[in-house]
């Protein structure tokens, strides 16, 4: 496991602002390896006509001119993505920022294709996959150089300390974006656009207001994203994406979970995780030792 990295991480800045911007953080050989695997998936996407469980494609996607929005769950699709997120520098960075063992949640590769790749409207992440605390964070890695034209990630510093917005539309359907009436209350002059050369990394807290504009350049903007929480934070099943996060979801990295969860101000010393080996009965627990 290569969990260490020479760059100093300012955890107090992350806690104050809700994000970190680390230009050029990932170097070769990781970068070239990840770039070449991503390119293989773009090639494979030429064989699909419409979105499926692996690829989310834009209208107009074709074998001749791929237009990818997203590769879903890259960690489950290729060992290089898995090593990067579960053992490599992304895992190490999550452990450093969260200050102890972490629990991997999910991953995705957002391409935001050239010439109009779609915007991601202002939102917070925690509503999509609530946890038992607010430790979850997402680490993004730009696989190519990203400038202001390409729809880099935009973040509103400090907004993770503020309100958690209702991401349902006025008609009650799920919109996944902060409503215009709430956006009017935010000072978007403070937004920071996190661009940078290939290898640059973003880290954002699950409560931070963030989004990105459409890509008006002639180059795609591949951003590899992986989400982690503290090991003692658990996704709440039955809400949002928590039930569909992939086979490796729940992997604990850099130590062990204590099985103790704090909810509603009370601490629950939870039982061990029996999800893989099967649960004993209460008779077995109490009498078999
Ligand atoms: O791809 C982006 O620019 C932002 C991605 C994002 O905010 C998300 O997937 O939650």
pLDDT in tens, 31-43: 999 999 999 999 9
Q: Quick check: CB of 120 below 6 Å from ligand 1?
A: yes
Query: Per the domain annotation, does 266 fall within a domain?
Result: no
Q: Quick check: CB of 61 below 6 Å from ligand 1?
A: no
Q: Residue 142 C-alpha to ligand 1 middle, in angstroms?
A: 12
Query: Per the domain annotation, does 1 fall within a domain?
Result: no
Task: Name the nearest CA neighbour of 122 among 185, 59, 57.
Answer: 185
List all residues 6 or more positions away from 45 whose beta carbon is below 8 Å from its beta carbon.
55, 57, 61, 66, 68, 71
Task: For residues 130 and 107, give the distance between their C-alpha atoms in angstroms, rounded to a whole number.
Answer: 16
Query: Per the domain annotation, does 270 fall within a domain?
Result: no
Counting from 1 in the atom list of ligand 1, the atom nearest the Cα of 108 is 9
Q: Quick check: CB of 210 below 6 Å from ligand 1?
A: yes
- Of 138-152, 189-203, 266-280, the poorest mean pLDDT is in 266-280
Task: Name the nearest CA neighbour of 41 among 224, 215, 264, 217.
Answer: 224
pTM of the entire predicted model: 0.95
Q: Residue 154 C-alpha to ligand 1 middle, in angstroms?
A: 9
| Domain of residue 126, CATH code | 2.60.120.620
List all residues 6 or more positions away from 285 whose beta carbon is below 8 Å from its beta carbon.
none
Query: Per the domain annotation, does 285 fall within a domain?
Result: no
**Token reading at 59:** 């209208």
Q: Quick check: CB of 205 below 6 Å from ligand 1?
A: no
Query: Per the domain annotation, does 122 fall within a domain?
Result: yes
Across 78-100, average pLDDT: 98
Query: Per the domain annotation, does 2 fall within a domain?
Result: no
Closest C-alpha residue for ligand 1 atom 1: 110
What pLDDT band is residue 1 in, cutting at 50, 70 and 90? Answer: low
Q: Residue 185 C-alpha to ligand 1 middle, in angstroms?
A: 22
Domains identified in the chain, total number: 1
Query: Per the domain annotation, does 156 fall within a domain?
Result: yes
Write down the pLDDT at residue 53. 94
Please give the residue range of the domain that contains residue 195: 11-257
Query: Per the domain annotation, does 281 fall within a domain?
Result: no
* Segment 50-71, tens digit of pLDDT: 999 999 999 999 999 999 999 9
């Amino acid at each position: 496991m290569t969990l260490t990295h020479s760059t100093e991480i300012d955890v107090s800045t992350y806690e104050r602002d809700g994000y970190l911007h680390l230009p050029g953080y990932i170097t070769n050989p990781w970068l070239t390896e990840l770039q070449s695997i991503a390119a293989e998936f773009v090639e494979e996407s030429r064989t699909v006509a419409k979105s499926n469980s692996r690829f989310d494609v834009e209208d107009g996607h074709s074998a001749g001119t791929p237009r990818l929005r997203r590769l879903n769950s890259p960690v489950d699709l290729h060992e290089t993505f898995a090593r990067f997120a579960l053992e490599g520098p992304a895992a190490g960075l999550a452990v450093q920022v969260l200050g102890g063992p972490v629990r991997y949640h999910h991953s995705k590769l957002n391409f935001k294709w050239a010439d109009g790749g779609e915007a991601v409207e202002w939102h917070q992440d925690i509503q999509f996959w609530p946890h038992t605390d607010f430790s979850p964070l997402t680490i993004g890695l730009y696989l190519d150089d990203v400038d202001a034209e390409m729809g880099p990630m935009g973040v509103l510093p400090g907004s993770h300390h503020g309100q958690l917005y209702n991401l349902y539309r006025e008609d009650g359907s799920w919109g996944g974006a902060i409503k215009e009436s709430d956006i009017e209350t935010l000072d978007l002059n403070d937004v920071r656009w996190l661009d940078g050369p290939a290898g640059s990394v973003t880290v954002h807290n699950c409560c931070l207001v963030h989004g990105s504009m459409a890509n008006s350049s002639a180059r795609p903007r591949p951003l590899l994203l992986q989400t982690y929480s503290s090991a003692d934070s658990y996704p709440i099943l039955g809400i949002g994406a928590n039930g569909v996060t992939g086979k490796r979801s729940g992997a604990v990295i850099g130590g062990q979970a204590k099985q103790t969860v704090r909810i509603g101000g009370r601490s629950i010393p939870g039982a061990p995780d029996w999800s893989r080996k099967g649960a004993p009965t209460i008779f077995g627990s109490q009498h078999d030792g």
